[in-house]
Structures are given as C-alpha cells and as structure tokens.
Amino acid sequence: MFFRAFLYLTWLLATAISTHFDGPSITQVTAPVDHAEGPHWDGRHNILYYVDIHSGGVLAYHYNTNTLSRMHLNGDVTPVIPSRKDPHLLLVGLNRSVVAVEWDAKQKVGSQAVLTTVSEQFPLSRFNDGKADKRGRLWWGTMGVETNLVVPPGQGFFYEITREHIENPIIIRKDVSISNGLAWNKANNKLYYIDTPTLKVVEFDYDDEKGTISSENRTVFDVNEHPSIAGAPDGMTIDEDDNLYICLYGGGAVIKVNSSTGKLLQVIALPARDVTSAAFGGPKLDILFVTTSRVSLTPKERLQLPAAGSVFAIERLGARGLPAFTADIVDSVPKKPVNLLENIFGPEIFTPGNGNKNVVTRNTSEPGGSK
C-alpha cells in the first residue's frame, strides 16, 4: 500500500515536472550499493567512476558494455579522480589520506601508494566530496566521523592539493562540517560550494591561475527558503549554461537552479530518498548520472525504495555538462608502494527484476542505448 502510494506520488511528481512527453526519463543503470557517491565521467574510455564509501568500493561503470567492475580498498573511500596523463592512475580519498592506485578499471590493480594524510587533529575525520580543477589541482574536503547519523560540527576542512603541496595541502576553509558539492562555472571564474548543514550553496570568486577563492561568498541557493523541497544539499554539478544540479540528501530529488539568480528551475524526483551526487556523462555529455544511498534507510524503507543506492541516468534533460577535469598532481605511483587493496570484483551486468517498476533499465542493443 505504502509502496503503491509512493509510486503514484513519484509518478505524479514526475508528470507534474515534465512539461511534455519528451520530458526527462530516469533509468536505473546499476544494482544498488549502500552509499554511492562521487560520480566522475571519464570520456577517454566512457567510464563513470563512483564510490561506495563505507565498503571501500571504487566502482567503474562501463557505458559501452553496460558492465560494472569494483575494487575495494581498506577504509572509507571518496572521492575518485582519474589522472590526466594516465587514465588508469586514480587519485582516491581513503579515510583522510590521498592515495594513488593503478587500476585498469576491470580486473587488474597495480601499484598503490599513500601520497599525503591530512587533518591529524581529527583522527576519525575523512575525505568527503572533491574534484580536480582545470589545472589538475585537487579541491577536496573532509568531515568529522558520523555516529548515529550525527556529524560533529567544525571538524572538516576544505583543502587544495597541488603538485607542490602534496605533503602539506593548502587549507582553503576551516570550521567546515560536511564539505560537499563543488562546481566551477564555464568561464572558470566562480566556484560553487556546499557545506551541507548550512543548507546553502555559496559562490566564491575563483582565480584559476593562483588557485585561490575570494574570502567573501554569495549565497546562491538556500534550501530553507524553499518549503516545497526537502533534505540537505549534498553533491552537485553544473551544465554548460551554468545551471547547477544540486542533489538533496533526504529530499528524493535533484534540483536545477540558475546559478546567477538562484531561481529554482526544475525538480527531478528519483526513486530514492537520499540523493548524493550527480555528474554529466555519456558520449555527448547529455546524460545526468545520479548516485544515491540506502545506508540510512530502515529495512521497511528499503522495501519501499528497492532501487535506493543505485546509479540512475537522467536523459532528455535538454542540457549538457562540461567535461570533468582530471587530476594532475603526480605522474605515476611515486613512493614505496603499499597494499591497500582488499578485493576486486567484476565485470558484473546489472539485470533488472528487483520489483522496482517505475524505472527502466538500459538496453544496450538499442541505438542511443536506452529506452
């Protein structure tokens, strides 16, 4: 009964927000994991990288073959950014360390090394969201350890990690609680940023040459001022028209917002409550891949939301993303290698039939890839 009601509401909402029948379509493209996060599209091999934070999973969804491979490291992992010079060299956040791992995105893991460890004063804190900028520097943030869904405030930092500052990353912001979504505008002179508990998306002036942001910020969007939406802002991305796509953890949706006016343009409901992050991908960069979580759902809620924890592909949005920047802080695995690997799985093919009828699965034998 509840599930039917949920489906109906989702359908109603989806219908209400699509202005015509060519509106967005939502496809479940992977089986669920507990806490999918940090999607990054690598157009060099048509791979969507993402993580399953608490299982230490680094996942590679191969768009061309619709298959998924996973490697698991020893700890919490996020984010994952492939390197500029070598697509098989990944920069990964492992607990509060930046590690370099060679992985062919399938079966073979090569050398691994710890490049740096941050936030000694908060031993249980960990990396959270992070991206590379246009020059390949890493802008990665941290958060305090979560216990019983509570994160202690002020134990996070927002770091900038450059080739010159690998050992001692630059602190961009301190007193952060949950360092999250970030995106640069097309002109590359603004940085959008989220510290989740503030419920705000803020804009900084960004100087790409110096690698600095302004001390002042402007609030672009405040979830508190929009009673029609719920949850807290988590990951985000931007399209080529500088519209932001903000994922609402607890809010069951991705929202599209004009970054200059803050106007709420669209609400895209998903069959998951905790929507974690989004990235444009696909050969034309016109598919919005969205990661979700089921880690905070009760057993009953998991039955109601069987696809929670999956990656979804939103198509026919009528928008395109900008290519994600790759990392350029090391050329190879530099130091004395260590073994951080726990396990490796795949390739797996996602087959539907989990009872979730309001999503369709991708059909690779059809032109365009989906239905």
Ligand X SMILES: *[C@@H]1O[C@H](CO)[C@@H](O)[C@H](O)[C@H]1NC(C)=O
Q: Pick out the residues of the known binding site.
A: 37, 126, 128, 146, 180, 234
Beta carbons within 8 Å of 261's beta carbon, 6+ residues apart = none
User: What angle (nearest 5°) sits at the alpha carbon of residue 134, between those of residues 181 and 329?
Assistant: 95
Nearer to ligand X among residue 200 and residue 273 (C-beta): 200
- Is 241 catalytic? The answer is no
Binding site, annotated residues for a divalent metal cation: 37, 180, 234
- Site residues (CB under 6 A) for ligand X? 74-75, 94-95, 173, 193, 195, 202, 217, 241, 243, 258, 260-261, 340, 363, 365-366
Binding site, annotated residues for substrate: 126, 128, 146
Nearer to ligand X among residue 75 and residue 281 (C-beta): 75
CB of 277 to ligand X, least distance (A): 18
Looking at residue 263, its amino acid is K
CB of 79 to ligand X, least distance (A): 16
> How far apart are the C-alpha atoms of 75 and 64, rounded to whole Å?
30
DSSP 168: S
> How far apart are the C-alpha atoms of 311 and 66, rounded to whole Å?
12
In terms of Cβ atoms closer than 10 Å to its own Cβ (0-12, 13-18, 19+), residue 108 is exposed
CB of 270 to ligand X, least distance (A): 22
Nearer to ligand X among residue 100 and residue 305 (C-beta): 100
> How far apart are the C-alpha atoms of 223 and 106, rounded to whole Å?
39
Instruction: Choose among 124, 67, 136: nearest CA to 96.
Output: 124
CB of 153 to ligand X, least distance (A): 12
> How far apart are the C-alpha atoms of 207 and 188, rounded to whole Å?
8
Residue 331 contacts residue 107 (beta carbons within 8 Å): no
Catalytic residue among 129, 133, 234, 239: 234
Answer positive or negative: Cα dihedral of 244, 175, 98, 275. Answer: negative
Strands 360-361 and 25-28: parallel
Residue 12 contacts residue 18 (beta carbons within 8 Å): no
- Cis peptide preceding 283, ω within 30 of 0: no
Nearer to ligand X among residue 102 and residue 195 (C-beta): 195
CB closest to ligand X, residue no: 75
With tokens 């680094």, the residue in question is: 58
Nearer to ligand X among residue 89 and residue 92 (C-beta): 92
CB of 151 to ligand X, least distance (A): 16
Active site residues: 234
